[in-house]
């Protein structure tokens, strides 16, 4: 292990101040865009930042968004440790949803304690299988994972369309979707609004943190990401670890899809992936792949999402303003990092 200089509380505060500056800058640009659109900038900020906390249903909605964003963020973070970009979380999420819908629709009359674990396991496996295609292409043919995972996304969109309009199609619905899953395949709800799915995120955050930062596997994964040549010379099987991390990431993203089917939609719906994948990528990069920091960034972005949706409803501001602000936020955070590194 190398000697690392001790980070003091002052350093942390300094870093926090810099990041706040970056976030403020992104909001500043968003404000300028709102100005050119002749919108009330201050009302926009207020809506974005406070809607999540304005009522219990809104807070519950925030948590509903938080779960898939966090889990898909984790699905991006695990391969990120070995410097692989799993842009395929979207497709892996959808395949998880397909698996969950298949279990929930076909297996009826079984108690929840059997069907629920089964449903989530199938979702997990389906996500892993979908990710294993790019993983195998990476392992055997060194195919760039960014392109292959994206291509798998497009294939998954048409697969979902095929299934949602297939034999399980809900003919009463105008939008492509399947019939509902059986009632025992649905996640129990705690309190009045929040389903048990969000508890998974906390458990997985802790688990993910220990795997990535406290286990040999995580150490080797990070070593192969930060310095592949050195890692290889120390006997770490770098060429095997990176594809494996993609499969693991796929499993987590698949689980997210399963939870969405079992806890929110109770069926497979075309477009249910929303734009979670884009958000998950940004929150994961912002948390630098750290599963615990990811809790914070995911929640922050869920809040922005709820706020931006409210803005679209009440002020008529196109939702895309959120996407622009969020991507700029990450670019500015990295700018701050780059400038600080140069100063050192």
Partner 1 sequence: MNYAELTSLLGYILVLMVPYSLASMGIMVGGRVGVFNVSTEGVMLSGASAAFLVTYFSGSYTLGILSGIGVGLLIGLMMTFFANKLKIDQFIVGILLYIFATGFGSLLYKEIIGITLYPPKVNLLPKIKIPLLSQIPYLGPILFNQDAIVYITILIALLLYYLLFKTSFGLKIRSIGENPRAADALGINVFLMRHIFTLIGSALMGMAGAYLALGFTGIYTNTIVSGRGWISIAITIFGRWNPLWILVGALLFAGVEVLVYTLQAMEVSLPYQVLMMLPFIITLLILIYTSRKAEMPAALGKPYDRESFEE
Contacting residues toward partner 1, per CB under 8 A: 33, 37, 85, 87, 133, 137, 141-144, 146-148, 150-152, 154-155, 158-159, 161-162, 165, 278, 281-282, 285, 318, 320-324, 326-328, 330-331, 334-335, 337-339
What is the 3-state secondary structure of the chain? Answer: CCCCCCCCHHHHHHHHHHHHHHHHHHHHHHHHHHHHCCCCHHHHHHHHHHHHHHCHHHHHHHHHHHHHHHHHHHHHHHHHHCCCCCCCHHHHHHHHHHHHHHHHHHCCCCCHHHHHHHHHHHHHHHHHHHHHHHHHHHHHHCCCHHHHHHHHHHHHHHHHHHHHCCCCECCCCCCCEECCCCHHHCCCEECCCEECHHHHHHHHHHHHHHHHHHCHHHHHHHHHHHCHHHHHHCCCCHHHHHHHHHHHHHHHHHHHHHHHHHHHHCCCECCCCCCHHHHHHHHHHHCCCCHHHHHHHHHHHHHHHHHHHHHHHHHCCCCHHHHHHHHHHHHHHHHHHHHHHHHC
Choose between 154 and 210: whose C-beta lies nearer to partner 1: 154
Query: Which of 12, 154 has the CB closer to partner 1?
Result: 154
For Cα atoms 132, 265, 70, give the angle at the middle one, nearest 5 degrees.
55
Q: Please state the closest distance from residue 252 (CB atom) to partner 1, in A.
A: 19
Q: Could you tell me the CA-to-CA distances from 286 to 49, 57, 266 in Å, in that order?
A: 19, 28, 31
- Residue nearer to partner 1 on the CB measure, 16 or 339: 339
> Minimum CB separation from partner 1 for residue 1, in Å?
22
The residue among 292 and 334 lying less far from partner 1, judged by its C-beta, is 334
Give least dist CB 266 to partner 1, A: 23
d(CA 268, CA 260) in angstroms, rounded, equals 9
195 or 325: whose CB is closer to partner 1?
325
**Residue 82 C-beta: closest distance to partner 1, Å:** 14
- Closer to partner 1 by CB, 137 or 187: give it: 137
Q: Torsions phi, psi of 214, nearest 5?
A: -125, 5
CB closer to partner 1 out of 8 and 341:
341
Q: How many CA atoms lie within 13 A of 110 on its CB side?
A: 17
Beta carbon nearer to partner 1, 85 or 265: 85
CB of 178 to partner 1, least distance (A): 15
> What span, in angstroms and rounded, lies between the C-alpha atoms of 288 and 286?
5
Give dist(CA 273, CA 186) in Å, integer: 19
Instruction: Select 170 or 337, whichever has its Cβ closest to partner 1.
Output: 337
């Amino acid at each position: 292990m190398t000697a690392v200089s001790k980070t003091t509380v002052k350093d942390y505060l300094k870093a926090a101040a810099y990041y706040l500056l970056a976030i403020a800058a992104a909001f500043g640009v968003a404000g300028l865009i709102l100005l050119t659109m002749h919108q009330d900038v201050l009302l926009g900020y207020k809506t974005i930042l406070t809607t999540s906390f304005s009522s219990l249903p809104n807070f519950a909605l925030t948590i509903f968004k938080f779960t898939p964003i966090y889990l898909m963020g984790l699905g991006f973070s695990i391969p990120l440790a070995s410097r692989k970009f799993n842009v395929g979380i979207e497709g892996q999420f959808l395949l998880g949803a397909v698996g969950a819908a298949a279990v929930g629709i076909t297996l009826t009359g079984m108690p929840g304690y059997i069907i629920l674990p089964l449903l989530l396991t199938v979702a997990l496996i389906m996500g892993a299988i979908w990710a294993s295609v790019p993983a195998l292409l990476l392992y055997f043919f060194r195919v760039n994972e960014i392109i292959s995972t994206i291509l798998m996304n497009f294939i998954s969109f048409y697969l979902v369309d095929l299934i949602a309009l297939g034999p399980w199609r809900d003919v009463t619905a105008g939008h492509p979707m399947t019939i509902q899953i059986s009632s025992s395949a649905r996640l129990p709800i705690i309190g009045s609004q929040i389903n048990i799915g969000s508890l998974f995120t906390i458990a997985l955050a802790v688990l993910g943190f220990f795997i990535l930062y406290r286990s040999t596997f995580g150490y080797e994964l990070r070593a192969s990401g930060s310095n592949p040549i050195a890692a290889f010379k120390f006997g770490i099987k770098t060429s095997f670890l990176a594809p494996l991390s993609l499969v693991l990431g796929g499993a987590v993203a698949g689980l997210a899809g399963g939870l969405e089917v079992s806890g929110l939609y109770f069926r497979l719906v075309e477009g249910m992936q929303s734009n979670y994948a884009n958000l998950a990528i940004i929150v994961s990069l912002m948390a630098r792949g750290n599963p615990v920091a990811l809790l914070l960034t995911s929640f922050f972005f869920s809040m922005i999402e709820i706020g931006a949706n409210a803005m679209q409803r009440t002020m008529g501001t196109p939702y895309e303003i959120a996407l622009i602000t969020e991507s700029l936020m990450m670019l500015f955070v990295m700018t701050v990092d780059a400038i600080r590194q140069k100063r050192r």
